[in-house]
Amino acid sequence: EARSRGRNELELFSEELEQRTKSAADLELGIRLALDNDLFRLAYQPKYNLSDNSLQSFEVLIRWFHPKWGPVSPSRFIPFAEANGLIVQIGRLVLEEACRQWREWTDFGLKIPTMAINISPLQLASLGFKDVLLNTLKTFSVPASAIELEITEGAALSHTKEQMELILALHDEGFSLAIDDFGTGYSSLSQLSSLPASTLKIDRAFVSKITDSSSESVIEAIITLGHSLGMKIVAEGVETELQRDFLKNKGCDIAQGFWYSRPLSAEKMRSALLPD
């Protein structure tokens, strides 16, 4: 149904469409061809301050249009690319294009809020990740302070000593760190407080169940926990006014979701960045 509206390229994709991406071999070849032929694109989803509805930051989200299959959802191919290692190449491409875009917008005179980039666990653990990151920023003269790295709860908290040192080093370079999909993992309070993260993102699964009182109490607990550790709380997947009002009343800081904005093309994101 999204397809028929003709503006769907950046939206989520139907299950039915997903079925067409058949075997693992197909998918792997597809990703390789997409890397070689520059078929990946980026979308940008704004995040808003719940207090005054101002633009707080935006998240970079990868998009893939397969010539035959049509759009393939990242929730399908990112876990797959994570399993076969192609995520490292995909991750480089995302970093590069996001930084190039940041530079273009900045040269155009736009003031850009924090740009959040998803970093997959394998990418984070890959050899030379920090150098790739810093070199890409340098190429496009993007300061580390402009970037927030979104790392899933599992990756951030199941840390080895090396992983923890890397995260601390990234923090020292000036990057902000957000714990993505929070509430789905099994992190302990002590693990959480040992991380230099400034943001917790409440997983969409909880937000979508607002009106369900057990989910509501989880959200309240996450907000209280995050705030007590000095973190800002982002709710992802905010789709209704009721959800937004609930989150705002509970003191959540930032909201991201279809109720505010779908992920946007670069062109539309640019308009969203224009001063009023």
Residues engaged in binding ligand C2E (CB under 6 A): 12, 45, 60-62, 73-75, 78, 91, 94, 118-120, 150, 180-181, 204, 236-239, 256-258, 263
DSSP tag of 189 = H
- Residue 153 interacts with Mg ion (CB under 5 A)? no
Q: Report the residue from 150, 170, 177, 233 that binds Mg ion according to the rule CB under 5 A.
A: 150
Residue 94 or 112 having the CB closest to ligand C2E: 94
Contact region for Mg ion (CB under 5 A) — 22-30, 103-111, 114-122, 220-228? Answer: 114-122
CB 112 within 8 A of CB 106: yes
* Site track for Mg ion across 194-213, x = CB under 5 A: -------x------------
Residue facing ligand C2E at closest CB distance? 257
72 membership: H or E segment, kind and range: strand 70-72
Least distance in angstroms from the C-beta of 255 to Mg ion: 13
β-pairing verdict for 70-72 and 55-66: antiparallel
**Which two three-digit tokens encode residue 137?**
């920023």
Under 8 Å CB-to-CB from 55, ≥6 apart: which residues? Answer: 46, 47, 48, 49, 113, 272, 273
275: left (phi over 0), alpha (psi -120 to 50) or beta: beta
**Which two three-digit tokens encode residue 109?**
């005179």
155 membership: H or E segment, kind and range: helix 153-157
Using CA atoms, how far residue 54 sits from 46, 50, 74, in Å, is 10, 8, 28
Place of tokens 């279809």: 258
Residue 176 or 256 having the CB closest to ligand C2E: 256
Query: Cα separation of 82 and 119, whole Å?
Result: 11
Dihedral angle at the C-alpha atoms of 135, 137, 138, 142, nearest 10 degrees? Answer: -170
Residue 150 or 253 having the CB closest to Mg ion: 150
> In 3-state terms, the chain is what percent helix, strand and coil (to 5)?
50, 20, 30
**Which two three-digit tokens encode residue 225?**
């926990």
236 CB-contact burial (10 Å; exposed 0-12 / middle 13-18 / buried 19+): buried
- Residue 148 interacts with Mg ion (CB under 5 A)? no
* Site track for Mg ion across 238-267, x = CB under 5 A: ------------------------------
Least distance in angstroms from the C-beta of 123 to ligand C2E: 6
Least distance in angstroms from the C-beta of 24 to Mg ion: 23
* Site track for Mg ion across 72-111, x = CB under 5 A: ----------------------------------------
- Residue 45 interacts with Mg ion (CB under 5 A)? no
Return the one option of ligand C2E, Mg ion, none that residue 155 interacts with (CB less than 5 to 8 A, by type).
Answer: none
Return the one option of ligand C2E, Mg ion, none that residue 257 interacts with (CB less than 5 to 8 A, by type).
Answer: ligand C2E
Least distance in angstroms from the C-beta of 33 to ligand C2E: 18
Least distance in angstroms from the C-beta of 109 to ligand C2E: 26
Residue numbers of the site for Mg ion (CB under 5 A)? Answer: 118, 150, 180-181, 201, 236
